[in-house]
Amino acid sequence: MALPSFTSEDFIWVRVVASGDDCNLYACDRNSRTLRLFGVHRVETPRPVDLAVVTDSAPDDEDELPVLLLSHRAIPPDCLVSMRPLGLLTIHCKAQVQEVIVAVPGADDGLAAWREVSDLPEDQRVTVATLARTLYGGREDSALIWADAARAREVIHQRKQAARLAQARSPKGAPAMPAWKPLGYRALGARRAAEIEPHSDAEYAYHQLPARFQEYVNNYLTHTERILFAVRRPALRSAVQRSFLRKSLLQEGLLMITDQQVVLACEIMPPDLTGIRYGYVIQGGVPERIASATVRTGSDRAFLEITWQASAGDQTTTWEFPAAAEEELTEAAVLLRAWRPMPEDTRLRRAYGPPQAEVRWQDPTAAAPASVELLAARLTQALHTALAHDEPALATALLPAWATQDKQARGFVVTDRRVFWLADPAGGDRPRLASYAIGEIASLEFQSSVIESWLAFYVMRPTGPQRVAITFPYAAEGFQECYSALRQQLVAVQPVL
């Protein structure tokens, strides 16, 4: 039987972001004019497909169109592949809709007989659909709708066209992708070749992280940050923390120092057999607020202790690692202490926070958008009344009425000098809601999880640190922006000690 022929219009370039299985890594050796094996990429959880994204399908690569790439052999991360779409899978999960392309590499002649998703064996089609629901829907009751290859190419064309228009409207010189994310791939342990090398070793090591940790890093780093140092911590039993007479289990985590923050990110719990990701929790602050950073050892563990400054006192956090990480933690502590001012210090220091943002009150779960618009108008009017004449709002978020104990909606606001709650004026006479000066805040926490999500900060009082936590629905919008704005503003508002 003759194989079908294809034209150039059938193929589209994609970039692999996560290999489905272990694979060799090759580089071009200019001296011998051949390929050189320089490493082996190992995956934590094998999948029947490689995960890829359509290149140039978004003005920034965080929202690029995802692709499930079927192939006989796993393809290395960051490899460009000319693929041929077989179909489009649309996943409906509550109010969210995610489109996913199912494709095969154009260079694999062994898959030329597959022109449409309907050509796939039934069991393979079910496997792909189940994996897509797990990765991009997150719920077993997510609705799946298949479309043919022609519709897939149409969606790709629309996304690429929209990306070009968005890029044209963006400010001149705006970064097309995060400054910290390397385009290339480097084997773990490779050293920086020279000062002109565009990325640090820690930034190249990003590609060595499991796919789920790459997603976490994408979420909590801003586009303009640069990664200076990173240490990965395996899951382990704590030597000092106990729960129900047992040593507490510390989940796998990543300590990361950037030019804007120092943070320990830990997953809530490892993915189960279905691959569902339960999210992450991060703790940290800004290096400009660090009073001291030391490393101590004991009980076959190494502990990084950081003391954060606030106007009413200091807070100390302790992060636990295996004893083998002592040398790396010592290097991290030296780096953190370098931020401390020195006598006759002439080094430049950051003294600016995030820009003023557009006031937005959104509830993606609302059944009646008109009611949200009325609530947003009331909260906006109340915000103008609450702000001082020279006080800009840096970020806002809406806590829906159904998510509060008293069934009254509230707005959370971050300004250049404080964070506070804003009550819905339609809620009647209510006591004044809490407000906290940014100079009083020592460190921050943020948890993004389908189980429970919250933003927390530690306010220093004469009696010690007071933890203030704001719990919000996983689908709520704006709280991660509030966390980022608050973290960035900690630099601009130095504590008065």
Query: Please, what are the domains in the chain?
Result: 8-169 (3.90.80.10), 223-337 (2.30.29.30), 369-492 (2.30.29.30)
Strand partners, 395: 414
Residues 459, 226, 480: CA angle, nearest 5 degrees: 45
Contact status, residue 268 vs residue 447, Cβ threshold 8 Å: yes
Q: Please, is 435 exposed, middle or buried when counting C-beta atoms within 10 Å of its C-beta (0-12, 13-18, 19+)?
A: middle
Q: What are phi and psi of 109, to 5 degrees?
A: -65, -25
Q: Which residue has 């203030």 as its token pair?
A: 468
**What is the residue type of 159?**
R
pLDDT of 301: 92
Strand partners, 294: 305
pLDDT of 198: 67
Q: How far apart are CA 418 and CA 412, in angstroms?
A: 11
Contact status, residue 304 vs residue 207, Cβ threshold 8 Å: no
Question: From the first residue on, what is the mean pLDDT of each consecutive set of 10 residues in the chain (497 residues)?
Answer: 61 88 79 77 87 82 82 87 91 80 88 88 89 77 85 88 71 60 50 52 78 82 88 89 72 92 91 71 93 92 95 93 94 93 80 85 78 89 91 93 86 95 79 84 92 92 91 88 94 77
Sign of CA dihedral 179, 181, 182, 188: positive
Q: What is the pTM of this model?
A: 0.65
Tally of CB atoms within 10 A around 391 = 13
